[in-house]
Structure 1
Amino acid sequence: MQDGVTHSPVRQALAGSQMLLVAFGALVLMPLITGLDPNVALFTAGLGTLLFHLVTGGQIPIFLASSFAFIAPILAAKTRFGLAETLGGLVAAGLLYIFLSGLVRMRGTGFIHRLLPPVVIGPVIMVIGLSLAPVAVHMASGRAGDGSAVLVPYDTAILIAMASLAVTIGAAVWAKGLFRLIPILFGVLTGYALSAVAGIIDYSPIAQAPWFAVPDFVAPAFSWSAILFMVPVAIAPAIEHIGDILAIGNVTGRNYLQKPGLHRTLLGDGLATSSAALLGGPPNTTYSEVTGAVMLTRNFNPRVMIWAALIAVVLAFVGKFGTALQSIPVPVMGGILCLLFGSIAVVGLNTLIRHQVDLSEARNLVIVGVTLVFGIGGMVLGQMEGIALCAVVAIALNLVLPGDREAWEKAIHEHQTD
C-alpha cells in the first residue's frame, strides 16, 4: 500500500474498515449526546459519503460523518421545536451549503474569504466548543446532558469519567501510529469496562435487540421558526469544510479547490447534510481524523472511503450493535467530551493566532468580544440564539465596522495566486 495505490478490492475493504474505525468514536458520540439513533447516524454517514464522492467524481480521499458544531443547536431546538422540526431546520442548513456552492461557482472563493475572515471564524469556532462545556461537565458528573436528571451517582460517575478522560489523553499524546488516531475508542472501551465492573450497565436491551433491524428513520417537519434558528449554524462548519479540503489537499499534494472545485465539495457536503436530516440523522461534515489517517497510511485512494461508507451502511442494520452503543453510560462520554469540546475551542483560538489577528485593535476586539459573550451566554434575538446568533453577529460586525482590511485582502490575493 504505497502512496495511495490499493488495487485489490479486499485490501481496499480492509483499509476502508480501518478508516471507519478512526472516524467511529466521534461519529457515534454526536447522536448519543443529542438523543438521535446511532444506527441512523451510521447509515447517513455512509450515504452522505457516497453522495459526496458521486458529486466530486470520487477524486478526494475523504469521509463525512456527524458534525459536533450542531450538538448545542440540536439540543436546544429539540426542546423548543421537537425532533421533527429540528430535522427540518437541519435540512435547510444543508441547503445553505448548496447555496454557497452556487455562489462559489459564479463568483469564485474570494467573497468567502472577505465575508468570513479569521476574526469572524475564530471566535465562532470557540463558541462551538465553549458553549458545550456544561454538557460535558453534566455528563461527567452522572447527569443528563442538560443537567435535568441524575443518571449515575456522582462518586461512581466522576471516577469513570476521569479514567475515560485520562486514557483518551494518554492515547492522543503517547500512542504511536494508527493507535494515536483512535483515542476516543480507547477512552470508551476503558470507561465501558469500568462501568461494567461498577454494575451500571443494563444489558437486557442488548439481549432483546434483534441482530437485523432497519434503523429508526424519522421524517422531518418544516417550520420557519426552526429553519431560521438552525440555518445560521451552518456557517461555522462550512468554513471548517474549506479548511478540511485544504488539509487533505496538502496531504495528497493536489489542489482540490480547483479540481473538482470548492463548489462541488460544498455541494456534496450540503447534499450529505440534507439527506441525513431527511432520514433522522445528524448533519455531516468532513472528518479531520480521517485526513490524519490518510497522511499516516499514505493511502490516497478515494475508493477506500467508498468502502468505509459501505461498511457503515451495513453496520447500521445490525440491531444489537446500535443498542450496545446506546448502553454506554453518560460518564464515559462526559469524560471524553471534556477533551473534545475543549479541543474545538482551541481550534478557534489557533485560528486567531495563526493568522496573527491583532486583538489590541478596537475593531477586532469588538468582534471577538461580542461574539464570545453572545454565543457562550446564550443571547436570544428573535428566532436566533447561541451559535447561530453569534455567527450572524460576527459577520455583521465585520462588514459594518470600519477598519484597515488591506493586509487581509493582500493575504487573500497571495493565497489565490499560490
Structure 2
Amino acid sequence: MTEQTSPTDYRFRLKDSLLGAQMLFVAFGALVLVPLLTGLNPNVALFTAGAGTLLFQWITGGKVPVFLASSFAFIAPIIYGVQTWGIASTMCGLMAAGGFYVLLSLFVRWRGTRAIARIFPPIVTGPVIMVIGLILAPVAVNMALGKSGDGAIILVDGSTAIIVSMASLGATLLASLFGRGVVRLIPILCGLAVGYLLSLFYGIVDFSRVTAAAWLAVPDFVLPEWNAAAILFMIPVAIAPAIEHFGDVLAVSSVTGKNYLKDPGVHRTLLGDGLATSMASMLGGPPNTTYSEVTGAVALTKVYNPAVMTWTALAAIVLAFVGKVGALLQSVPVPVMGGIMLLLFGAIMVVGLNTLVRAGQDLLEPRNLAIVSLVVVFGVGGMSIPLGSVTLSGIGLAGILGVLLNLILPQGDKTTGGSEARGPAAPH
C-alpha cells in the first residue's frame, strides 16, 4: 500500500514546494524592505521569517495558512532604536515586545477577546498607528530626495534622486491600482525593480559589496544586549500590531472559510506571533507579523493547505544562506526605497485613520477628542518624559498615553456630550 501511494504523495509535495516558493516571491519585497530601511541584515530577516513561520505553525498545530515576516509597524521604532542604542540593544526591546504578545495571549485565554477590546479600543489603537506613519514621513521625504534618513548627508544628486524615487513610487502605485493577478500582490517588488533598473541607468548602484560577498554564507546574526530604555520604548509599540493580529486572523478565516479564532484559537495564534517575534529578535531580525500579501495570494490561488507555508518558510531559510542575495539587496539606492516609503508610511497613517472611521465614533465628542489629539501631538511633536535613567518618548509614549487616557477619562454623556460644539446630536 505504501509503495503505491508514495509516488502520488511525492508529486503533491513537489507541487506544494513550488507553490511555497511562489508565496515567498509574493512576500519578498515587503519582507526585505524592513531590514533595508532599518539597517538590519536582509539575510537574517529571511531566516527569521522562515524560522518564525515554522514556530508559528508548531504553536498553532499547523492549522493556519499564513506566512510571518518583517512587520512594518516597527520600522520607525527600530530606526530610532538603532540610532540611539545600536542594533543589539534594540533587539532587547523587540524581544520584550514579543513577550508582551505572549502575555496578551495568556490574558485572552483567561478573559477572552472582549477584555482586550475594552483596554485597547480603536480610539487608542487608531491614533497610535497614525503616529507610526506620521513620525516616518520626514525619513521618507529625505530618502526620496537622495539624503540619509535624518537629512544630514546627501547620498545621491537631488535631481537624479527625485526622478528615481518618483519612478519607484509610480511603479508601486500602478501595480497596486491596475495590476492583475500576482502583479497586484507585489507592488513593492515592482517598485523596487523599476527603481533599481533606473538606478543602473544613472550609474548610482554600487556593486562592490555584491562582488565581495560569498555565494554561501551564514547570516550575520546579532545577539541582544540588555537595555531597560529600549524595553520601555518598545513594549507600547506592540499594542497596535498586537490588536491588528485579530484582524489578520479574521481575514485568513474569511478567505479559507474556517474559524481560526476558535480553532486553534486566537490566543494560540497570538502566542505564535509573539514567540516568533522574540525568536527573531534573539537573532537580530525584525519582528514578525502575518502577511496580508500572502493571504491575498491564498485567496487568488485557492491554495488553503497550511503545508504550503512550510515550504515558503523553508525556501526563505535556504535563501538566507546565499550571501550575494543580501549584498544585492543592500545595493538598492536610497531614492528607490524613499519613493516606496512615501506611499508606505502614508498608508500606515491611513490605516490608523481607517481604524477610527470603522469604529463609527464621534471624534468631536470631548473624551474622544482628548485621547486622539493628545496621542497624536505627544507622539509626533517630540514630547518626552524622563523616568529615572530612561526617557519615554515617540510611539512608546503615545501608546502608553492612549491606554491611560482611555482607562482614566470618564465616559461622556452619550446623549449630550459635545453636542453643543457639533450642532444637533447624532443618534447613538
8 Å CA contact retained: 1:12, 1:304: yes
Counterpart of 2:14?
10
Tell me the CA shift for residue 148 of structure 1. Answer: 2.3
1:226 to 214, 224, 230: 230
The answer as to 2:254 corresponding to 1:250 is: yes
1:336 to 319, 335, 340: 340
8 Å CA contact retained: 2:366, 2:412: no
1:186 to 172, 186, 190: 190
In structure 2, how many angstroms separate the alpha carbons of the residues matched to 1:201 and 1:396?
Answer: 48
1:152 to 131, 153, 156: 156
The answer as to 2:87 corresponding to 1:93 is: no
Counterpart of 1:71?
75
What RMSD in Å do the two structures reach over aligned CA positions?
1.6
Q: Deviations over 1:143-197 (max 9, x none)?
A: 1112221111111101000011001100100111111010111111110001001
In structure 2, how many angstroms separate the alpha carbons of the residues matched to 1:20 and 1:323?
Answer: 19
Q: Structure 1's 285 and 78: CA in aligned 2 closer, same or farther, altered over 3 A?
A: same
Counterpart of 2:406?
398
2:370 to 366, 369, 374: 366
Same amino acid, percent of matched pairs: 61
In structure 2, how many angstroms separate the alpha carbons of the residues matched to 1:65 and 1:122?
Answer: 22
Unaligned runs of 5+ in 2: 1-9, 416-428
Counterpart of 2:85?
81
**Secondary structure, aligned partner of 1:131:** helix
Query: 1:24-173 residue pairs with structure 2 within 5 A?
Result: 24-173=28-177
In structure 2, how many angstroms separate the alpha carbons of the residues matched to 1:203 and 1:75?
Answer: 25
8 Å CA contact retained: 2:210, 2:327: yes
In structure 2, how many angstroms separate the alpha carbons of the residues matched to 1:307 and 1:325?
Answer: 22
In structure 2, how many angstroms separate the alpha carbons of the residues matched to 1:343 and 1:22?
Answer: 19
8 Å CA contact retained: 1:118, 1:357: no
Counterpart of 2:268?
264
Radius of gyration: which is bigger? 2
Amino acid of the residue matched to residue 64 of structure 1? Answer: L
> Runs of at least 4 residues of structure 1 off by over 6 A?
none
> TM-score, normalised to structure 1's length?
0.94
**Secondary structure, aligned partner of 1:148:** coil
In structure 2, how many angstroms separate the alpha carbons of the residues matched to 1:260 and 1:405?
Answer: 40
**Secondary structure, aligned partner of 2:219:** coil
The answer as to 2:212 corresponding to 1:208 is: yes
**Secondary structure, aligned partner of 2:238:** helix
> TM-score, normalised to structure 2's length?
0.92
Amino acid of the residue matched to residue 351 of structure 2? Answer: V
Q: Deviations over 1:310-345 (max 9, x none)?
A: 000000000011100000001001001111111111
Q: Which moved more, 1:352-361 or 1:191-200?
A: 352-361
Unaligned runs of 5+ in 1: 1-5, 408-418
The answer as to 2:286 corresponding to 1:278 is: no
Q: Structure 1's 54 and 405: CA in aligned 2 closer, same or farther, altered over 3 A?
A: farther
Tell me the CA shift for residue 405 of structure 1. Answer: 9.6
Counterpart of 2:395?
387
